[in-house]
Amino acid sequence: MKGENELKKVGFVLFLVMVVASLVISGGCVKQPTAPTAPTSIKIGALVDLTGFDAGSGQPVKNGYDLAVADINKGGGVYVKEYGKKIPLELVVMDGESDADKIVARAEALNAQNVPAVCTATMGISAVDIFEKDKLPAVTVLITASYLWQQGREYWFGLGMMNPDVVTTMYEVFKNAPQMSTKWALWELQQDWVAELFQVAQQKASDYGINYVYHGKYAMLSPDMSPLINGAKDAGAEIVFCNGPFPDDITLLKQMAQLGYKPKGIIMVEGADDPAWGQALGPLGAYVVASPAWHPSLDFPGVKELNAAYQAKFGTVAHIGAGAAYSCIQVVANAIERAGTLDREAIRDAIATTDMMTVAGQIKLDATGKRIDPLHIAVQWQNGVMELVWPDNMKTKPLIYPIP
Protein backbone atom coordinates (compact mmCIF):
# COMPACT_ATOMS: atom_id res chain seq x y z
CA MET A 1 0.00 0.00 0.00
CA LYS A 2 2.84 2.31 0.93
CA GLY A 3 4.61 1.72 -2.39
CA GLU A 4 1.41 2.44 -4.26
CA ASN A 5 0.96 5.77 -2.46
CA GLU A 6 4.54 6.75 -3.23
CA LEU A 7 3.94 6.04 -6.91
CA LYS A 8 0.83 8.25 -6.87
CA LYS A 9 2.80 11.06 -5.28
CA VAL A 10 5.55 10.77 -7.88
CA GLY A 11 2.97 10.74 -10.65
CA PHE A 12 1.26 13.86 -9.30
CA VAL A 13 4.60 15.67 -9.03
CA LEU A 14 5.44 14.75 -12.62
CA PHE A 15 2.03 16.10 -13.72
CA LEU A 16 2.70 19.41 -11.98
CA VAL A 17 6.12 19.64 -13.61
CA MET A 18 4.55 19.13 -17.05
CA VAL A 19 1.92 21.81 -16.40
CA VAL A 20 4.54 24.31 -15.25
CA ALA A 21 6.72 23.49 -18.24
CA SER A 22 3.87 24.06 -20.66
CA LEU A 23 3.09 27.41 -19.03
CA VAL A 24 6.70 28.49 -19.33
CA ILE A 25 6.83 27.46 -22.97
CA SER A 26 3.59 29.32 -23.76
CA GLY A 27 4.75 32.49 -22.06
CA GLY A 28 3.88 31.81 -18.46
CA CYS A 29 0.12 32.26 -18.70
CA VAL A 30 -2.96 30.72 -20.17
CA LYS A 31 -3.39 32.01 -23.71
CA GLN A 32 -6.36 34.37 -24.02
CA PRO A 33 -8.66 34.36 -27.04
CA THR A 34 -7.61 36.98 -29.61
CA ALA A 35 -9.87 39.58 -31.23
CA PRO A 36 -11.14 38.73 -34.73
CA THR A 37 -9.13 40.08 -37.64
CA ALA A 38 -10.18 43.65 -38.32
CA PRO A 39 -11.07 44.81 -41.83
CA THR A 40 -8.72 47.33 -43.41
CA SER A 41 -11.58 49.84 -43.59
CA ILE A 42 -15.21 50.34 -42.65
CA LYS A 43 -17.07 50.71 -45.93
CA ILE A 44 -19.94 53.19 -45.74
CA GLY A 45 -22.35 53.32 -48.66
CA ALA A 46 -22.93 56.71 -50.30
CA LEU A 47 -25.90 56.70 -52.67
CA VAL A 48 -26.01 60.11 -54.39
CA ASP A 49 -26.78 61.59 -57.80
CA LEU A 50 -23.55 62.71 -59.46
CA THR A 51 -25.10 62.93 -62.94
CA GLY A 52 -28.52 63.87 -64.26
CA PHE A 53 -30.83 66.68 -63.18
CA ASP A 54 -30.16 66.14 -59.45
CA ALA A 55 -26.36 66.36 -59.71
CA GLY A 56 -26.49 69.97 -58.52
CA SER A 57 -27.36 68.72 -55.04
CA GLY A 58 -25.77 65.28 -55.26
CA GLN A 59 -22.19 66.42 -55.90
CA PRO A 60 -22.06 68.82 -52.90
CA VAL A 61 -23.52 66.08 -50.71
CA LYS A 62 -20.69 63.77 -51.76
CA ASN A 63 -18.25 66.59 -51.01
CA GLY A 64 -19.63 66.77 -47.49
CA TYR A 65 -19.31 63.00 -47.05
CA ASP A 66 -15.70 63.16 -48.28
CA LEU A 67 -14.73 65.94 -45.87
CA ALA A 68 -16.32 64.19 -42.89
CA VAL A 69 -14.60 60.89 -43.69
CA ALA A 70 -11.26 62.66 -44.10
CA ASP A 71 -11.64 64.42 -40.75
CA ILE A 72 -12.57 61.21 -38.92
CA ASN A 73 -9.71 59.32 -40.55
CA LYS A 74 -7.21 61.97 -39.42
CA GLY A 75 -7.83 60.61 -35.94
CA GLY A 76 -7.35 57.03 -37.06
CA GLY A 77 -10.97 56.29 -37.92
CA VAL A 78 -13.71 54.82 -35.73
CA TYR A 79 -12.96 52.67 -32.69
CA VAL A 80 -14.74 49.31 -32.93
CA LYS A 81 -14.72 47.36 -29.68
CA GLU A 82 -15.20 44.03 -31.45
CA TYR A 83 -11.77 44.45 -33.05
CA GLY A 84 -10.16 46.43 -30.25
CA LYS A 85 -8.87 49.19 -32.51
CA LYS A 86 -9.70 52.18 -34.67
CA ILE A 87 -10.54 51.44 -38.29
CA PRO A 88 -10.58 54.11 -41.04
CA LEU A 89 -13.77 54.83 -42.95
CA GLU A 90 -14.07 54.27 -46.70
CA LEU A 91 -16.88 55.57 -48.87
CA VAL A 92 -18.40 53.21 -51.40
CA VAL A 93 -19.97 55.75 -53.77
CA MET A 94 -22.82 54.84 -56.08
CA ASP A 95 -24.18 57.32 -58.63
CA GLY A 96 -27.96 57.08 -58.83
CA GLU A 97 -27.85 59.13 -62.06
CA SER A 98 -31.04 60.94 -60.98
CA ASP A 99 -32.99 57.86 -62.10
CA ALA A 100 -35.33 56.01 -59.73
CA ASP A 101 -34.73 52.57 -61.25
CA LYS A 102 -30.97 52.97 -61.17
CA ILE A 103 -31.10 54.15 -57.57
CA VAL A 104 -32.90 50.93 -56.62
CA ALA A 105 -30.24 48.90 -58.44
CA ARG A 106 -27.43 50.84 -56.74
CA ALA A 107 -29.01 50.24 -53.33
CA GLU A 108 -29.02 46.50 -54.02
CA ALA A 109 -25.38 46.74 -55.12
CA LEU A 110 -24.45 48.36 -51.81
CA ASN A 111 -26.26 45.61 -49.95
CA ALA A 112 -24.30 43.01 -51.93
CA GLN A 113 -21.07 44.68 -50.80
CA ASN A 114 -22.21 44.17 -47.21
CA VAL A 115 -21.76 47.80 -46.16
CA PRO A 116 -22.97 48.26 -42.56
CA ALA A 117 -24.82 51.53 -43.30
CA VAL A 118 -25.69 53.92 -46.11
CA CYS A 119 -25.86 57.70 -46.31
CA THR A 120 -28.17 59.09 -48.98
CA ALA A 121 -30.06 62.21 -50.07
CA THR A 122 -32.90 63.53 -52.26
CA MET A 123 -33.48 60.74 -54.81
CA GLY A 124 -32.54 58.11 -52.23
CA ILE A 125 -36.25 58.19 -51.50
CA SER A 126 -36.63 55.71 -54.39
CA ALA A 127 -34.73 53.01 -52.49
CA VAL A 128 -36.51 53.27 -49.13
CA ASP A 129 -38.13 49.85 -49.43
CA ILE A 130 -34.88 48.24 -50.55
CA PHE A 131 -33.08 49.41 -47.42
CA GLU A 132 -35.89 48.03 -45.29
CA LYS A 133 -35.97 44.70 -47.11
CA ASP A 134 -32.22 44.27 -46.83
CA LYS A 135 -32.13 45.50 -43.21
CA LEU A 136 -29.56 48.05 -44.25
CA PRO A 137 -29.55 51.22 -42.08
CA ALA A 138 -29.94 54.34 -44.24
CA VAL A 139 -29.38 57.83 -42.85
CA THR A 140 -30.82 60.55 -45.06
CA VAL A 141 -30.54 64.29 -45.57
CA LEU A 142 -32.45 66.65 -47.89
CA ILE A 143 -35.48 64.35 -47.87
CA THR A 144 -38.56 66.08 -46.46
CA ALA A 145 -41.39 63.66 -47.25
CA SER A 146 -42.71 62.96 -43.75
CA TYR A 147 -45.04 60.17 -44.92
CA LEU A 148 -41.96 57.95 -45.36
CA TRP A 149 -41.57 57.92 -41.59
CA GLN A 150 -45.21 57.10 -40.92
CA GLN A 151 -45.13 53.59 -42.37
CA GLY A 152 -43.35 51.64 -39.64
CA ARG A 153 -39.88 51.40 -41.18
CA GLU A 154 -37.02 50.46 -38.86
CA TYR A 155 -33.95 51.11 -41.04
CA TRP A 156 -34.79 54.56 -42.43
CA PHE A 157 -33.59 57.70 -40.60
CA GLY A 158 -33.96 61.41 -41.42
CA LEU A 159 -31.81 64.25 -40.09
CA GLY A 160 -33.52 67.25 -41.65
CA MET A 161 -36.79 69.17 -41.78
CA MET A 162 -39.93 67.40 -42.91
CA ASN A 163 -42.56 69.03 -45.13
CA PRO A 164 -44.66 70.35 -42.21
CA ASP A 165 -41.49 72.01 -40.84
CA VAL A 166 -40.79 73.61 -44.22
CA VAL A 167 -44.31 75.03 -44.47
CA THR A 168 -44.23 76.44 -40.94
CA THR A 169 -40.84 78.02 -41.60
CA MET A 170 -41.98 79.71 -44.80
CA TYR A 171 -45.13 81.04 -43.19
CA GLU A 172 -43.26 82.32 -40.15
CA VAL A 173 -40.78 84.16 -42.36
CA PHE A 174 -43.51 86.18 -44.03
CA LYS A 175 -45.88 86.44 -41.06
CA ASN A 176 -44.25 89.55 -39.63
CA ALA A 177 -43.37 91.17 -42.95
CA PRO A 178 -44.91 94.64 -43.29
CA GLN A 179 -48.17 94.52 -45.23
CA MET A 180 -47.73 90.82 -45.96
CA SER A 181 -50.00 89.82 -48.83
CA THR A 182 -52.62 87.18 -48.14
CA LYS A 183 -53.01 86.28 -51.84
CA TRP A 184 -50.67 83.41 -52.67
CA ALA A 185 -50.15 80.98 -55.57
CA LEU A 186 -48.91 77.38 -55.51
CA TRP A 187 -46.82 76.02 -58.37
CA GLU A 188 -46.71 72.30 -57.74
CA LEU A 189 -44.13 69.99 -59.26
CA GLN A 190 -45.87 66.67 -59.92
CA GLN A 191 -43.97 64.52 -57.43
CA ASP A 192 -45.36 62.71 -54.37
CA TRP A 193 -43.18 64.52 -51.86
CA VAL A 194 -44.13 67.92 -53.31
CA ALA A 195 -47.81 66.96 -53.22
CA GLU A 196 -47.46 66.35 -49.49
CA LEU A 197 -45.71 69.70 -49.01
CA PHE A 198 -48.50 71.64 -50.66
CA GLN A 199 -51.24 69.64 -49.01
CA VAL A 200 -49.78 70.73 -45.68
CA ALA A 201 -49.41 74.29 -47.00
CA GLN A 202 -53.10 74.47 -47.79
CA GLN A 203 -54.07 72.91 -44.45
CA LYS A 204 -52.08 75.50 -42.50
CA ALA A 205 -52.88 78.49 -44.70
CA SER A 206 -55.89 79.71 -42.74
CA ASP A 207 -53.83 79.81 -39.52
CA TYR A 208 -51.75 82.56 -41.15
CA GLY A 209 -54.56 84.31 -43.00
CA ILE A 210 -53.29 83.08 -46.36
CA ASN A 211 -55.61 82.51 -49.32
CA TYR A 212 -54.34 80.47 -52.26
CA VAL A 213 -55.93 82.20 -55.23
CA TYR A 214 -54.18 79.96 -57.76
CA HIS A 215 -52.88 76.36 -57.72
CA GLY A 216 -51.15 75.05 -60.82
CA LYS A 217 -49.22 71.85 -61.50
CA TYR A 218 -46.34 71.11 -63.86
CA ALA A 219 -44.06 68.26 -64.92
CA MET A 220 -40.38 68.30 -64.08
CA LEU A 221 -38.16 70.06 -66.65
CA SER A 222 -41.13 71.53 -68.51
CA PRO A 223 -39.88 73.99 -71.16
CA ASP A 224 -43.03 76.15 -71.00
CA MET A 225 -44.10 77.53 -67.62
CA SER A 226 -46.38 80.22 -69.03
CA PRO A 227 -49.65 78.52 -67.92
CA LEU A 228 -48.47 78.69 -64.30
CA ILE A 229 -47.22 82.23 -64.57
CA ASN A 230 -50.25 83.62 -66.34
CA GLY A 231 -52.57 81.73 -64.00
CA ALA A 232 -50.99 83.29 -60.91
CA LYS A 233 -50.76 86.71 -62.54
CA ASP A 234 -54.41 86.73 -63.65
CA ALA A 235 -55.52 85.59 -60.18
CA GLY A 236 -53.69 88.50 -58.57
CA ALA A 237 -51.31 86.31 -56.54
CA GLU A 238 -48.66 88.44 -54.84
CA ILE A 239 -46.55 85.66 -53.32
CA VAL A 240 -45.68 82.44 -55.14
CA PHE A 241 -44.68 79.23 -53.39
CA CYS A 242 -42.99 76.43 -55.36
CA ASN A 243 -40.53 73.61 -54.83
CA GLY A 244 -38.75 72.20 -57.82
CA PRO A 245 -35.20 71.49 -58.98
CA PHE A 246 -32.73 74.21 -59.90
CA PRO A 247 -33.34 73.99 -63.71
CA ASP A 248 -37.11 74.43 -63.29
CA ASP A 249 -36.63 77.47 -61.08
CA ILE A 250 -34.38 79.07 -63.69
CA THR A 251 -37.02 78.48 -66.36
CA LEU A 252 -39.73 79.94 -64.14
CA LEU A 253 -37.79 83.11 -63.31
CA LYS A 254 -36.76 83.75 -66.91
CA GLN A 255 -40.29 83.34 -68.19
CA MET A 256 -41.72 85.43 -65.34
CA ALA A 257 -39.49 88.28 -66.49
CA GLN A 258 -40.56 87.77 -70.11
CA LEU A 259 -44.25 87.77 -69.17
CA GLY A 260 -43.96 90.77 -66.86
CA TYR A 261 -44.99 88.98 -63.68
CA LYS A 262 -43.33 90.46 -60.61
CA PRO A 263 -44.86 89.23 -57.33
CA LYS A 264 -43.98 90.78 -53.98
CA GLY A 265 -42.45 87.55 -52.70
CA ILE A 266 -41.03 84.37 -54.26
CA ILE A 267 -40.42 81.10 -52.43
CA MET A 268 -38.40 78.43 -54.25
CA VAL A 269 -37.69 75.95 -51.49
CA GLU A 270 -35.24 73.59 -53.17
CA GLY A 271 -33.51 75.30 -56.09
CA ALA A 272 -32.67 78.58 -54.35
CA ASP A 273 -30.76 76.89 -51.54
CA ASP A 274 -27.79 76.30 -53.87
CA PRO A 275 -24.77 78.64 -53.47
CA ALA A 276 -24.44 78.58 -57.28
CA TRP A 277 -27.79 80.40 -57.50
CA GLY A 278 -26.41 83.93 -57.29
CA GLN A 279 -23.72 83.36 -59.89
CA ALA A 280 -26.07 81.54 -62.27
CA LEU A 281 -28.97 84.00 -62.08
CA GLY A 282 -27.57 87.33 -60.93
CA PRO A 283 -30.27 90.01 -60.48
CA LEU A 284 -32.89 87.63 -61.91
CA GLY A 285 -32.61 85.44 -58.82
CA ALA A 286 -32.51 88.24 -56.27
CA TYR A 287 -34.83 88.23 -53.22
CA VAL A 288 -35.94 84.63 -53.71
CA VAL A 289 -36.55 82.82 -50.39
CA ALA A 290 -35.69 79.18 -49.64
CA SER A 291 -35.61 76.82 -46.67
CA PRO A 292 -32.33 74.86 -46.63
CA ALA A 293 -31.24 72.00 -44.40
CA TRP A 294 -28.10 73.88 -43.29
CA HIS A 295 -26.25 77.17 -43.68
CA PRO A 296 -22.53 78.02 -43.41
CA SER A 297 -23.19 80.82 -40.89
CA LEU A 298 -24.57 78.44 -38.24
CA ASP A 299 -22.75 78.56 -34.92
CA PHE A 300 -22.22 74.87 -34.16
CA PRO A 301 -18.97 73.06 -33.34
CA GLY A 302 -16.99 72.26 -36.45
CA VAL A 303 -18.82 74.60 -38.84
CA LYS A 304 -15.93 77.08 -39.17
CA GLU A 305 -13.50 74.26 -39.85
CA LEU A 306 -15.88 72.72 -42.40
CA ASN A 307 -16.27 76.07 -44.17
CA ALA A 308 -12.50 76.53 -44.34
CA ALA A 309 -11.91 73.01 -45.64
CA TYR A 310 -14.67 73.33 -48.25
CA GLN A 311 -13.33 76.66 -49.47
CA ALA A 312 -9.80 75.28 -49.68
CA LYS A 313 -10.78 72.13 -51.56
CA PHE A 314 -13.63 73.30 -53.78
CA GLY A 315 -13.04 77.04 -54.06
CA THR A 316 -16.47 78.14 -52.92
CA VAL A 317 -18.58 78.69 -49.81
CA ALA A 318 -19.75 75.47 -48.20
CA HIS A 319 -22.90 74.17 -49.86
CA ILE A 320 -25.95 73.55 -47.68
CA GLY A 321 -25.97 69.93 -48.83
CA ALA A 322 -22.36 69.49 -47.78
CA GLY A 323 -23.04 70.59 -44.21
CA ALA A 324 -26.06 68.32 -43.92
CA ALA A 325 -24.09 65.42 -45.43
CA TYR A 326 -21.19 65.96 -43.04
CA SER A 327 -23.58 65.51 -40.11
CA CYS A 328 -24.83 62.27 -41.69
CA ILE A 329 -21.33 60.75 -41.55
CA GLN A 330 -20.93 62.03 -37.99
CA VAL A 331 -24.10 60.19 -36.94
CA VAL A 332 -23.12 56.93 -38.65
CA ALA A 333 -19.57 56.98 -37.24
CA ASN A 334 -20.89 57.68 -33.75
CA ALA A 335 -23.38 54.82 -34.04
CA ILE A 336 -20.72 52.35 -35.15
CA GLU A 337 -18.52 53.28 -32.22
CA ARG A 338 -21.37 52.94 -29.73
CA ALA A 339 -22.46 49.65 -31.27
CA GLY A 340 -18.91 48.34 -31.00
CA THR A 341 -19.45 46.12 -34.03
CA LEU A 342 -20.15 46.24 -37.76
CA ASP A 343 -23.34 44.24 -37.34
CA ARG A 344 -26.17 46.06 -39.13
CA GLU A 345 -28.83 45.42 -36.53
CA ALA A 346 -26.62 46.72 -33.73
CA ILE A 347 -25.73 49.80 -35.78
CA ARG A 348 -29.41 50.34 -36.57
CA ASP A 349 -30.21 50.29 -32.84
CA ALA A 350 -27.38 52.72 -32.13
CA ILE A 351 -28.55 55.15 -34.83
CA ALA A 352 -32.06 55.05 -33.34
CA THR A 353 -30.68 56.22 -29.99
CA THR A 354 -28.52 59.02 -31.43
CA ASP A 355 -28.20 62.08 -29.22
CA MET A 356 -25.17 64.10 -30.27
CA MET A 357 -23.89 67.50 -31.38
CA THR A 358 -22.97 67.82 -35.06
CA VAL A 359 -22.21 70.61 -37.54
CA ALA A 360 -26.00 70.72 -38.01
CA GLY A 361 -26.73 71.06 -34.30
CA GLN A 362 -27.92 68.58 -31.71
CA ILE A 363 -29.40 65.50 -33.37
CA LYS A 364 -31.81 63.22 -31.57
CA LEU A 365 -34.37 60.96 -33.24
CA ASP A 366 -37.93 60.05 -32.38
CA ALA A 367 -39.43 56.56 -32.39
CA THR A 368 -40.09 56.73 -36.15
CA GLY A 369 -36.51 57.70 -37.02
CA LYS A 370 -37.17 61.40 -37.70
CA ARG A 371 -35.10 64.13 -36.12
CA ILE A 372 -36.60 65.78 -33.07
CA ASP A 373 -36.57 69.58 -33.34
CA PRO A 374 -34.72 69.86 -36.68
CA LEU A 375 -33.24 73.12 -37.90
CA HIS A 376 -35.94 75.58 -39.02
CA ILE A 377 -34.12 78.16 -41.10
CA ALA A 378 -34.88 80.37 -44.10
CA VAL A 379 -32.60 82.20 -46.51
CA GLN A 380 -33.03 84.99 -49.03
CA TRP A 381 -30.76 86.01 -51.88
CA GLN A 382 -29.57 89.55 -51.31
CA ASN A 383 -26.83 91.19 -53.40
CA GLY A 384 -25.67 87.81 -54.63
CA VAL A 385 -25.37 86.35 -51.12
CA MET A 386 -27.55 83.65 -49.57
CA GLU A 387 -28.40 85.43 -46.32
CA LEU A 388 -29.96 83.68 -43.35
CA VAL A 389 -33.14 85.69 -42.63
CA TRP A 390 -34.96 83.50 -40.08
CA PRO A 391 -35.12 82.77 -37.18
CA ASP A 392 -34.22 86.11 -35.62
CA ASN A 393 -31.61 84.67 -33.24
CA MET A 394 -29.63 83.21 -36.17
CA LYS A 395 -30.21 85.65 -39.03
CA THR A 396 -27.42 87.42 -40.87
CA LYS A 397 -29.81 89.90 -42.56
CA PRO A 398 -33.50 90.82 -42.22
CA LEU A 399 -36.00 89.71 -44.85
CA ILE A 400 -36.50 92.16 -47.72
CA TYR A 401 -40.20 92.36 -48.53
CA PRO A 402 -41.80 93.34 -50.82
CA ILE A 403 -39.34 92.70 -53.63
CA PRO A 404 -38.06 96.15 -54.74
DSSP character at residue 384: T
Which residue segment(s) compose the domain that 204 sits in?
164-290+378-390
For residue 105, what is the domain's CATH number? 3.40.50.2300
User: Would you say residue 23 lies in a domain?
Assistant: no
Q: Is 142 left (phi over 0), alpha (psi -120 to 50) or beta?
A: left
Pairing verdict, β 378-382 and 156-158:
unpaired
- Same structural domain, 128 and 230: no
Question: Looking at the 3D structure of the chain, how many domains does it have?
Answer: 2
**For residues 249 and 272, is the Cβ–Cβ distance under 8 A?**
yes
pLDDT (mean) for 230-238: 98
* Residue 27 covered by a domain: no
Reported as a pLDDT band with limits 50, 70 and 90, residue 33 is low
**Predicted local confidence at residue 15, as pLDDT:** 46
Residue 153 within any structural domain of the chain? yes
Which residues contact residue 27 at a Cβ distance below 8 angstroms, ignoring those fewer than 6 apart? none
Of the candidates 105, 101, 111, 161, the residue with the CA atom closest to the CA atom of residue 132: 111
- Of the pLDDT bands very low, low, confident and very high (cuts 50, 70, 90), residue 32 is low
* For residues 256-279, average pLDDT: 91
pLDDT in tens, 243-263: 988 889 999 999 999 999 999
Q: How many residues does the chain have?
A: 404
Angle subtended at Cα 69 by Cα 163 and Cα 52, rounded to the nearest 5 degrees: 55
Say whether both 68 and 145 belong to one domain: yes
What is the pLDDT at residue 191?
87
Same domain (yes/no): 138, 218: no
Please indicate, yes or no, if residue 322 is contained in any of the structural domains: yes
Q: Encode pLDDT of 110-125 as tens digits.
A: 999 999 999 999 999 9
Any domain includes 270:
yes
**For 326-377, what is each residue's pLDDT tens digit?**
999 999 999 999 999 999 999 999 999 999 999 999 999 999 999 999 999 9
Is residue 306 in a domain? Answer: yes
